A and B are shown apart, each in its own frame.
Chain A
Amino acid sequence: AQSVTQLDSHVSVSEGTPVLLRCNYSSSYSPSLFWYVQHPNKGLQLLLKYTSAATLVKGINGFEAEFKKSETSFHLTKPSAHMSDAAEYFCVVKNRDDKIIFGKGTRLHILP
């Protein structure tokens, strides 16, 4: 069965330091993988997606993620955190059967 595990429910970083949000998945097929961001009281916005092209995917607002098949991981990174990055982040996997699974989310806190 497919699943998505976001390894940290909360991550705190100082402004200007790197961000790492971890996501592991299990899938029987080559999946499509997404990261979404949700700011307080807002809907979910697509940050980036992987669809079996380049394994390093660049998204909006300076975020990027690397698909590592051997590690079944799709971690989200950003070189330098900004206060506006404080939000909840969701890792999402979609298989060829079109079933979509959401991770439980990681809340990112930015310390001044």
Chain B
Amino acid sequence: NAGVTQTPKFQVLKTGQSMTLQCAQDMNHEYMSWYRQDPGMGLRLIHYSVGAGITDQGEVPNGYNVSRSTTEDFPLRLLSAAPSQTSVYFCASRRGQGIAGNTIYFGEGSWLTVV
């Protein structure tokens, strides 16, 4: 059981370049989300999706796009990378809304450096 799979694990980008972080889950979870983790700030929500075809903004959406064409996949696109987007990115998934205590499953993380 693969769980949540993120690629790539490490990436260095030049300012202005674009790239896509891939995320896939095999648990048939409705809810998927992207977080970024920065020192001393915990995890902050970038974008999330409650099901295929539905996405919404989180706390820090600027500079990122997402789409959810299938239940399994939830890619995160950086449109024009900036040094402020240097961070560790985590994809997460869980069962649908309204289920008390449903566990959030995380990918292994993607370390992104923008130079």
Name A residues whose Cβ lies closer than 8 Å to a Cβ of B: 9, 32, 34, 36, 41-46, 49-52, 90, 92, 94, 96, 98, 100, 102-105
Contact of B41 with A104 in the complex, beta carbons under 8 Å:
yes
Q: Kindly list chain A residues whose C-beta atoms are within 8 Å of the C-beta of B101.
A: 32, 49-52, 94
Contact in complex: A46, B103 (CB < 8 Å): yes
A43 and B108: CB pair below 8 A? yes
A92 to B103 Cα, complex, angstroms: 11
Q: Count B interface residues, CB 8 Å.
A: 20
The docked-state distance in angstroms from the alpha carbon of A90 to that of B43 is: 9
Please give, as numbers and ranges, the residues of chain B lying within 8 Å of A34 by CB-CB distance. 103-104
B100, A44: Cβ atoms closer than 8 Å = no
Instruction: Give B contacts to A, CB under 8 Å.
Output: 4, 35, 40-45, 90, 97-98, 100-101, 103-104, 106-109, 111
Given known contacts A32-B101, A44-B90, A46-B103, A102 and B109 CB-to-CB distance under 8 angstroms:
no
Which residues of B are found within 8 Å of A102, using beta-carbon distances?
A: 35, 42-44
